[in-house]
Copies of this chain bind each other. A is one copy, B any other.
Amino acid sequence: MKTGILAWMHEGNVTIPSLLFSEYRNLKLSEYDLAIVLNILAYAQKGNNFPTPEELSSRMTISINECTDLLRKMIQRGYIEIIDEYSPEGIRFEKYSLDPLWEKLVDQFMLNQKNEKELGRKSEES
Contact = CB atoms under 8 A, between A and B. Distances in A.
Indicate the size class of the contact surface on chain A: 35 or more
Interface SS of A by simple majority: helix
A7 interface: yes
Contacts of A82: none
Given A5-B106, A11-B19, A31-B32, 20 more contacts: A1-B4, A1-B5, A4-B4, A4-B110, A6-B102, A6-B103, A8-B106, A11-B18, A11-B109, A13-B16, A14-B21, A15-B15, A18-B45, A21-B38, A22-B42, A25-B61, A31-B31, A31-B62, A34-B35, A35-B35
Nearest to A33: B31
A43 to B, nearest CB: 9
